[in-house]
Structures are given as C-alpha cells and as structure tokens.
C-alpha cells in the first residue's frame, strides 16, 4: 500500500465535486453529513478495493484537517503500516486499521470551527464539546455497511485502558490490541505537531511519553519507540 496511486476516476470525481460550493456546505450540514460521507465511500452494493477505499478515506481526512487547521500528512498510514507489520497483522487487518485511522477524526466536522481552530487553551466547556467528536465519528460511520469493526476502532482512539478516556469510558477489558495500537499512533502524532496553543514536543519527550504508554497499554516498547 506504499506509494498509493488513486484511480483517475476517483481523482476526477473529487475535484469535480470540490468545485461546487454545495460540496463544502454538505461537510458542515448536521443532517446531511452522514449521508454525504456514505456517498463518498461509494455504492456499498459494489465491490471496491481497499486501496481505493483508503484513497477516499485519505481525501476525507484531508478535508477534516483543513477544517480544523491541523497538520496533515502520511504519518498515520506510515506509522500504522509499520506497527501492523511488527504485530503480524495480515493485509486485510492492516487496511482496516489504516481506514480507521483516516476516518477517526471525521466527527470533528460536527464541532464548531471556532472551537477546533481556537488559538488559546480551550475552556472546560469547549473541551467537553471537543470530547463529543468520537461520538459523532461513530454515528457517521454507522451509516456505512460493513464498517462495524472500523466504527469501533475509529471511535475509540481517545479511550484509555484505565477508563479515563472519552467518550465511552472504556477500559482495558474493552480495548483490544488494535485499539491500543491506534491510540498510541495518534498520541505520537498529536505530541509531534505544533498546535495553536503549544509547540510540538521534543523527540525525547515524545519517546518518554510513549514508553509510559507502552507499559500501561501492555505493548512491546521496542515496537513503539
């Protein structure tokens, strides 16, 4: 899945749609959004390759990150490819992990832009609103047939094995290896990014944080750092 090239038809359709104002209005339409995402993921009665699905999901992820003014890139896919290989996940599981990664923050499109782009530290109320994003992610992805495991993975990246995460307060007994791997990758990504209210963590600080997480999550330290 390295050096993925999107089908020309997918590229052309995306660029065609993105030229319309309605394309962007749909992204922030609370009622329409789940069905719009379902449309972008193609007709679920047709067979579609994982490579094509990942390409579509990556485009959706780019839209999310532009909406939030976050740093986008290939980190998620690259990191998940490496982690899945180290844990001996097969190609299908790896593809579904990558899909989960790209779609995990889609719920942020339901959060007001002035909150997700706020340059200062969030207030307690704003943080509670942000914490609803994984819930919205789940509700959106539930509309996609055959995405049951992806829904569970994508909506649980902010859960923690001690039950302190959100929004479902899942604990270690409810979070499998895939959940933990996905969470670690997103933590590493977040720590390494500049945010409006803080600078990116130094490499050594990120590694120290990941070492602590690897112990708590029962993940092999050498597979993370």
Peptide bond into 71 cis (omega under 30): no
| 224 has pLDDT over 50 | no
| 222 has pLDDT over 50 | no
Task: For residue 63, give both structure tokens.
Answer: 């839209």
* Mean per-residue pLDDT, 24-38: 59
- Per-residue pLDDT at 177: 92
- Per-residue pLDDT at 172: 87
Higher pLDDT, 225 or 84: 84
Query: If pLDDT is split at 50, 70 and 90, which confidence band does 225 have?
Result: very low
- Per-residue pLDDT at 223: 42
- Per-residue pLDDT at 120: 87
User: By percentage, how much of the chain surpasses pLDDT 70?
Assistant: 71
**Domain 8-223: which topology?**
Hypothetical protein af1432 (1.10.3210)
Q: How far apart are CA 197 and CA 125, in angstroms?
A: 17
Q: 50-68 and 8-18 are packed helices; what angle lies between their axes, rounded to 10 degrees?
A: 30
* Mean per-residue pLDDT, 43-63: 81
Higher pLDDT, 95 or 197: 95
Across the chain, mean pLDDT equals 80
Predicted TM-score (pTM) of this structure? 0.75
Q: Any idea where the domains of the chain sit in the sequence? A: 8-223
């Amino acid at each position: 899945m390295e050096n993925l090239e999107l089908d020309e038809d997918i590229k052309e359709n995306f660029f065609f749609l993105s030229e319309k104002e309605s394309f962007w209005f749909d992204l922030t339409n609370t009622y329409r959004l789940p069905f719009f995402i379902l449309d972008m993921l193609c007709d679920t009665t047709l067979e579609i390759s994982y490579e094509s699905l990942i390409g579509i999901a990556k485009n959706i992820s780019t839209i999310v990150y532009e909406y939030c003014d976050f740093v986008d890139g290939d980190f998620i896919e690259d990191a998940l490819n490496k982690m899945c290989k180290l844990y001996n996940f097969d190609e299908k599981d790896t593809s579904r992990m990558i899909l989960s990664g790209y779609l995990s923050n889609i719920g942020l499109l339901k959060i007001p832009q002035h909150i997700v782009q706020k340059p200062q530290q969030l207030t307690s109320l704003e943080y509670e609103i942000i914490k609803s994003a994984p819930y919205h992610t789940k509700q959106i992805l539930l509309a996609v047939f055959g995405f049951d495991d992806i829904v569970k993975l994508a909506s649980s990246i902010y859960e923690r094995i001690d039950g302190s995460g959100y929004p479902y307060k899942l604990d270690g007994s409810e979070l499998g290896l895939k959940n933990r791997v996905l969470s670690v990758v997103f933590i590493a990504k977040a720590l390494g990014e500049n945010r409006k209210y803080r600078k990116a963590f130094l490499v050594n600080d990120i590694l120290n944080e990941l070492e602590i997480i690897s112990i708590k999550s029962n993940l092999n330290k050498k597979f993370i750092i």
